[in-house]
Amino acid sequence: MLTGFWIIAIFMGVEIACGWLFHSLALISDGFHMLSDALALGLSAFAVSLGTRRATVGKTFGFKRFEILAAFANGLTLALLALFIAGEAVLRLRHPVAIEAGPMLWVAALGLAVNALAAWWLHRGGHEKTVNEESAFQHVLTDLGASLAAIAAALLILWHGWLWADPALSLVIAGAMAWSGTHVMRRSGHILVEGAPEGVEVESVRRAMLATAQVRGVHDLHVWTMNGRDLYLSAHVDIAAGEASEKQVAAGLTRALSHDFRMDHITLQVGQCADTDCLNNCEEPEIR
């Protein structure tokens, strides 16, 4: 992400300056979006470095949640920039401005190459991305689309003299930024409020635990994630008195949950109860 930061940051100033010089809102929009990319990548890299720190007495879960805060901030930045660009585009549609389309085309093409390089660099490796890494990647992808829109606007102006193409395609850029920003905010917000991780059905986890021979009830079951990748689970498990030791049941469930549901951090409180109490009180109703 630091490499992507420098790739984007170096070209960002060039694009904003050229957009102002050639009166192209599409270039200015793309430049400001590259500014948000640079900030997003820098913030994401900083959050990743924080996330690797060990837990402290004051922060017993460590610093992994900072990655999600960074992702939410990245999504919010995209959404706000989209509103700004849309407002400017509407003004340009009402009052067209003369644009030097030739130089604009060359700068937009160079911006496309820079963004393609940054996108490839961030996507390489093939590992599962955290929400933070995905938000940074989404920033660069929308910027890639913005460069394509700027190229299309320049060509339409050169071929047909359509000055409205610049603000019109800037609205397209704004729409893509708004969609990407709200998508990232929705995902990161779900994690911040301790929502169930994507791809994990809590009731499927409960049924798998209840399928264990010695288990009579599962309650206070919670599944969450700190950064969109590492999965945490905690639960109270009731077993019938005298059938098995609490330690054996806890060890068996931990192995099964780690293997079947890829849980990384499992905390189980196992206790014994009479058969009648287990049937009447231990099993929670299915969540709908």
Q: In the CATH scheme, what is the code of domain 2-192?
A: 1.20.1510.10
Q: Quick one: pLDDT at residue 128? A: 56
pTM over 0.75: no
Is-contact 134 67, C-beta < 8 A? no
Q: Are 44 and 137 in contact (CB under 8 A)?
A: no
Query: Which structure tokens are listed for 22?
Result: 């050639």
Distances (CA, A) of 20 to 40, 81, 99, 101, 177: 23, 17, 10, 13, 21
| Beta strand extents in 158-273 (DSSP E only) | 215-225, 231-240, 265-273
Q: What is the pLDDT of residue 41?
A: 74
Angle at 78 between CA 75 and CA 82, to 5 degrees: 140
CA distance 150 to 24: 9
Domains 2-192 and 202-282 share a fold: no
pLDDT in tens, the chain (288 residues): 677 777 777 777 777 787 777 777 777 777 776 776 677 677 767 766 776 777 777 777 777 788 788 778 878 888 888 888 888 888 888 887 777 778 878 888 888 888 788 778 777 655 556 666 776 777 777 778 778 888 888 898 889 888 888 888 888 888 888 887 888 889 889 988 888 988 889 999 999 999 988 888 899 999 998 877 789 999 999 988 776 788 888 899 999 999 999 898 999 999 887 655 555 444 444 444
Determine the pLDDT at residue 154. 85
Domain extents for the chain? Answer: 2-192, 202-282
- What is the C-alpha separation between 247 and 249, in angstroms, rounded? 6
What are the start-end ranges of the E strands in 110-250?
Answer: 215-225, 231-240
Q: What is the dihedral of CA 114, 117, 120, 121, to 10 degrees?
A: -110
* CATH level 2 (architecture), domain 202-282: 2-Layer Sandwich (3.30)
Rounded to whole angstroms, the Cα distance separating 55 from 48 reads 14
3-class secondary structure, 280: helix
Query: Positive or negative CA dihedral for 19, 23, 24, 30?
Result: positive
Rg, C-alpha atoms of the chain = 26
